[in-house]
Amino acid sequence: MPQFLPAFDTIAFLRDSWQKQPLLIRNPWTEWHNPLAPDELAGLACEAAVESRLVACKGRAKYSLVCESGPFDETRFGRLGQKAWTLLVQAVDHHVPAVAALIEPFRFVPNWRIDDVMVSYAVDGGGVGAHFDHYDVFLIQGLGKRRWRVGQACNDATALLPHDDLRLLADFAPTAEYLLEPGDILYVPPGIAHDGVAVGDDCMTYSIGFRAPSRAELIGDWSDHLLETITEDDRYRDPGLALQANPGEIALTAIAALHALVTEKLLDRDGFARWFGSFASTPKYPDIDWRPEPIGVAGLRRRLAEGAPLYRNPASRFSFIRRTDATLWLFVDGEQFDCVGAAGVFAEQVCAHDVLVVDTIVLADAAALAVILRLYNQGSVSFDSE
């Protein structure tokens, strides 16, 4: 599993750079190996269940980039000719364990903030144009070289070029330039303009992206969830209605009561925590079915007693919320598990480790085994590292 050299100071990084300024990190790995061959990436882009794009340059103007969505026929890449092009494949960590392992050194950021690993392959001159993202990203150079330029801070008011598929900046004012070689990392905070261009062929970049839910997204989804729990008879009532001097007035007492009717639900902190745990752990691609052949509790206990390790599905999301009553709310793939005692021990361990040998105290606890059984049968954990 990839590891950082001790010289990489995560505390200093979080204090000085995280969401503040770009940072170039020259090869911090104890040993760097490119985890995926270009041909394997192209193979993933041909699969229907994998999200992929092909960005190619058709001219010299800034708006000459064209974008196609996959899946692609395996002959497509051989017909691209001499034009500069880039292949981008989303969530490669869901399908390739060696790519998923790249996330582990970045676990100093909480699990719920991590999105996925997008992998790009580009020929000489390939890129996707100057743009900005609403989230943090670590850009790891895996193979070949890429020249990155970073520039101004942007927001939703920043002018973009007219393009149906790409959010290209109308104006890009670079302030720094870096040439990344294998193992080098460039951290880019949200809203910072950046542009990467391959220098030479066989350029591969691994982009570890982070989730940053917007206020509108949180309010909208939380409100939708609340609406599903509210019955038709939960309505405004005014049994103490007093006679008004003017029937056209909406009295301040009515406004206060109506506002309370709305905010009482919105301000339910425990309800919000339960909703957010499920919201944040919902898989990126929930329609993909990872369920194995079901197993019973006896078969599960036997495998665990033999010391078989549990592997987390890289496509699954694991997080927990610690309660004041010694209960842990474990959230996995949108499902909630209330865990106490040995089940709580397991919940903390499985959230912290991609591979886990279950403790004997967990094996002896029926409630903990019930949690593991559900996780196994829904495809969130398995005994298979692949």
Q: Which domains does the chain have, with CATH numbers?
A: 10-210 (2.60.120.650), 214-235+251-267 (no CATH), 297-382 (3.40.366.30)
Question: What mean pLDDT comes out for the span 25-53?
Answer: 97
pLDDT tens digits, 204-222: 999 999 999 999 999 999 9
pLDDT band at 78, cuts 50/70/90? Answer: confident
Alpha-carbon 25 to chain mean position: 22
**pLDDT, position 60:** 55
Q: Is residue 201 over pLDDT 60?
A: yes
* Mean pLDDT for the stretch of residues 310-339: 96
Q: What's phi and psi for 230, nearest 5 deg?
A: -100, 130
Asked whether the predicted pLDDT for residue 170 surpasses 60, the reply is: yes
Segment 282-308 shows an average pLDDT of: 95
Question: pLDDT value at position 59?
Answer: 65
Burial of 286 (0-12, 13-18, 19+ CB in 10 A): exposed
pLDDT confidence bin for 385, thresholds 50/70/90 = confident
Q: 194 in helix, strand or coil?
A: strand
How far apart are alpha carbons 368 and 356 in whole angstroms?
A: 14
Residues 210 and 114: beta-carbon distance below 8 Å: yes
Q: What is the DSSP letter of 104?
A: G
Decide: helix, strand or coil at residue 42.
helix
Q: What is the pLDDT of residues 270-292, one digit of tens each?
A: 999 999 999 999 999 999 999 99
Q: What string of DSSP letters covers 337-356?
A: EEE-THHHHHHHHHHH-SEE
Note if the bond before 314 is cis, omega within 30 degrees: no
Average pLDDT of the segment spanning 158-179: 95
Helix (H, G, I), strand (E, B) or coil at 99: helix
pLDDT tens digits along 137-163? 999 999 999 999 999 999 999 999 999
Q: In which band, very low, low, confident or very high, does the pLDDT at 17 lie, cut at 50, 70 and 90?
A: very high
Rounded to whole angstroms, the Cα distance separating 252 from 249 reads 9
Q: 120 and 214 in contact (C-beta within 8 Å)?
A: no
The one-letter code for the residue type at 325 is D
Are residues 190 and 26 in contact, defined by beta-carbon separation less than 8 angstroms?
no
Tell me what the mean pLDDT of segment 48-76 comes to.
87
C-alpha dihedral (121, 125, 129, 134), degrees to nearest 10: 40
Alpha-helical segments (H) within 245-319: 252-266, 269-281, 297-305
**Contacts of residue 47, Cβ cutoff 8 Å, sequence gap at least 6:** 71
200 pLDDT higher than 80: yes
Q: How confident is the model at residue 384 (pLDDT cuts 50, 70, 90)?
A: confident
Give the burial class of 362: count Cβ atoms within 10 A of its Cβ; 0-12 exposed, 13-18 middle, 19 or more buried.
buried
pLDDT band at 383 (very low <50, low <70, confident <90, very high): very high
Contact 179/198 with Cβ under 8 angstroms?
A: no
Asked if residue 61 has pLDDT above 70, the reply is no
In the predicted structure, residue 63 carries a pLDDT above the cut 70 = no
Question: What pLDDT does 325 receive?
Answer: 86
Which percentage of the chain shows pLDDT scores above 90? 92
CA atoms within 13 A of residue 354's CA, in its CB half-sphere? 20
Residue 82 scores a pLDDT above 80: no
Question: CB count, 10 Å around CB of 353?
Answer: 16
